[in-house]
Amino acid sequence: MSLLDKVKTQAASATAIAKDAAQKGQAKLDALQAKRAADVLFRNLGVVVYGQRTGRAAATADTDVERIVASLKALEAEHGPIDLGAEVPSD
């Protein structure tokens, strides 16, 4: 194998490693962005439900809940199940 062939092989290997690292980094970024989006949706859902439970709900509360739940389902369809592992503290 000539020196030029060795250099080409090493360059191809380095390129493949760099592409793999970039794909893994992008996957982590996508997962983080999906988690942040879910956190915002869950917060908004909590606000609407709290308003319903305390008698201070907007007239659009039921529609808002349906819209937020639909957004959460779409997020799960695109990124996989949302981790609901956070425990709600008891009183």
CA pair distance 60, 46, nearest whole angstrom: 15
Write out pLDDT tens, residues 49-86: 999 999 999 999 999 999 999 999 999 999 999 998 86
Residue 52: how many other CB atoms lie within 10 Å: 15
Residue ranges covered by each domain of the chain: 3-79
Write out pLDDT tens, residues 16-53: 898 888 999 999 999 999 999 999 999 999 999 999 99
| pTM, 2 dp | 0.74
Which pLDDT value is given to residue 88? 67
Q: Do residues 50 and 16 make contact, with C-beta atoms less than 8 angstroms apart?
A: no
Place of tokens 């988690």: 35
Which pLDDT value is given to residue 4? 83
